[in-house]
Each structure stands twice: as C-alpha cells, then as structure tokens.
Copies of this chain bind each other. A is one copy, B any other.
Amino acid sequence: MAENEPGPGGSIEIIQREMTAFARRARASAARMHPELSLVSFTLLSHLEDRGGCRATDLAAYYMLDKSTISRQVGALEKAGLVERRLEPGDHRVQVLHLTERGTGLLQRATDSRRVAFRERLAGWSEPDLERFAEYLLRYNAGAPEG
C-alpha cells in the first residue's frame, strides 16, 4: 500500500518486476536453446572472449561466484576442450585462461542462435527504439555495484 504513486515509483516497480521476470526464465530458456552450453558456461566463455583471456579470480569477481565454483566450472570447460590454462611466466600461482579454437567455435554458434532468438523477439521494433533500449540496458548494468 501507499505505493500507488503514479510517479517515479511506478516505473521503477515495473523495471524491477520485468527484469526479474526475465532473469527467472533466462536459465531454462538458455538450456532449451543450447543443451550443450549452460547459461553459466556461456557467460564464462563470453567473458574469456571479451577479455582475450583472464584469471579464474577475475571470473569469480565479475560473476559474483565463489572461486571453488569457478574452479569446477573451468575444470569442466577444460575437460570439454573449450578452454586451456596457461601458466603465467612471472607468477606460478596464476593460470591465465584462454578459449581454445573449439571453445571459440562453440561460443560463436551459441551466440548466433541466441541472436536469432533475440532478433525474432525484437522483430517489430523500430531502429530508434532498439538503440534506446540497448542504451538503457548498458546504462543500467554499468551501475552494477558488483563491477
């Protein structure tokens, strides 16, 4: 009660609800689109591609996951031949993770089929609307407290 404001509260409420609704479905949706690459794996590989390789610790920080979780995920990805570990020459504690060719290829295919789905979903949108929506999302995520 009391939040019947037609002003700022209203939009924020809607944004909250709709972002949550999307998040809630994302995993199942991703799983249906790509049985071979879970949402987690997909995002980890994406980050590796984005950065051109990084450390496990960086992944953990970026995705707010425990280092043990990353360790196991990376282990699985390595076993699947999608990433490789390279020892940092100057520091033998760290392993720099890189996509393998196979990883790059799989990521590419996943990204493509996801893009098709998004494109379909956004089919009726005008170009200015798409640009503004993209801009809003960037701005929203840039404000993430987690980095």
Contact = CB atoms under 8 A, between A and B. Distances in A.
* This chain: copies in complex: 2
Interface in A1-57: 7-29, 32, 39-40, 42-43, 46
User: How large, as a class, is the contact surface on chain A?
Assistant: 35 or more
Interface stretch (A72-80, A85-93, A95-103, A133-141): A133-141
Contacts of A39: 20, 23-24
Given A18-B141, A137-B18, A138-B18, A24 B11 contact: no
Contacts of A8: 119, 127, 130
A43 B26 CA distance: 13
A118 B15 contact: yes
B137 A15 contact: yes
A20 B46 CA distance: 11
A136 B138 contact: no
B140 A122 contact: yes
Interface of A: 7-29, 32, 39-40, 42-43, 46, 63-65, 114-115, 118-119, 121-122, 124-125, 127, 129-134, 136-141, 143-146
